[in-house]
Chain A
């Protein structure tokens, strides 16, 4: 029996891409995984895939940007399965727009999902974790929080996630609860492909490894930070980026 067999891991935005890979990896490690998504078809497909591989997974629909929806989602998970011991805040939207196109509505949408969503889920999860004296939260930010063209709203939201994580890591440390960040670089995902080819190639030149990461690379880092092997680590921003975070000035030649 896995060490994680009694633990519930909730992955927000787990219905596709990186979130699906994280869900599958946590299930492979033995966690009982609850896949959150807005889209039932996607969530069902991820759960079916995990189940067919011998893992244990369920899904719960919910909108992370709405605190009432998040509270209802946690209530349901706790009633059906038990308290969440690992929370992965993965749900997010990219916000690629020059400042002239950063309308109030655009800003509100990006920050509602990418930042407010992390607050809603984390705030709800930390109570039971504090009571249990244990728990691990892994927030998926982005290397882009350091800054990038067209990313003012997205970077602000992800910078907020980093700051929130560090503050809560300090606040929760003595309660036995750890919070860490995974900051992906260029990961081959639907969100990354949502730009034109020229912009895509320009992005690639900024990666020292010269390669894209995979959702599995992120899932591996999340599994590490979720569990006991990283018991000495809290408030860490772990860049999974092929070195892009070191110095990411693109080659314009």
Chain B
């Protein structure tokens, strides 16, 4: 994969199970990464952006993220938990953040006609709080490296015509929801 510049990362409350995710993604993309503390800084980056919203419970982030992502000319990936599709026992705040992120990505994708694109990677809610358990009908032990491969795909050149979509890195859990086709 061709090297890209400056993977910008904003992860306001990165769960323990995903601590290695940014490094994995940067390694796959072949780019240095830089964590930012203010989402506005994502707009100043000309490279891909990784935004991890798992563990986040403040819906006001969407007001900040909307103009920033909409103006980006490089790809953006949002990582969320799957509580929003109705998985068992989701924390309501996490479910709302997930639904909000999907709505944000879809809304931006249809509103702009810029070169940037934004997609969502949805991961098992249970992974966030309990690393090591098996996930979905594939019976996988899903970890940061597995999720990173999907994130890197939506941030790379091979997803050029994919915009506003949700990719489920979840071992197939999404198959049992009516929201996912």
Contacts and interface: CB of A to CB of B under 8 A. Distances in A.
A221 interface: yes
Contacts of A200: none
Interface residues of B, number: 38
A174 B160 CA distance: 32
Contact of A217 (B109, B161, B168): B161
Contacts, number: 117
A237 B179 CA distance: 11
Interface in A183-217: 185, 208-211, 213-214, 217
A178 interface: yes
Nearest to A182: B162
Given A217-B160, A220-B158, A224-B158, A234 B167 contact: no
A245 B161 CA distance: 12
Interface string A11-41: 0000000000000000000000000000000
Contact of B147 (A170, A217, A220, A232): A232
A147 B173 CA distance: 26
Contacts of B157: 220
Contacts of A210: 113
Contacts of B149: 228-232
Given A209-B113, A233-B169, A243-B109, A223 B158 contact: yes
B57 interface: no
Contact of B109 (A214, A231, A238, A246): A246
Contacts of A170: 137, 172, 175
Of A169, A230, A232, A235, chain B has the most CB atoms within 10 Å of the CB of A232
Given A221-B158, A234-B171, A235-B174, A229 B106 contact: no
B139 interface: yes
A166 B137 CA distance: 12
Contact of B137 (A162, A174, A217, A238): A174
Contacts of B168: 232-233, 236
Contacts of B164: 208, 243, 245-246
Interface of B: 106, 109-110, 112-113, 117, 135-140, 142, 146-147, 149-150, 152-153, 157-165, 167-172, 174-175, 180-181
Interface of A: 162, 166, 169-170, 173-174, 176, 178, 185, 208-211, 213-214, 217, 220-221, 223-224, 228-243, 245-247
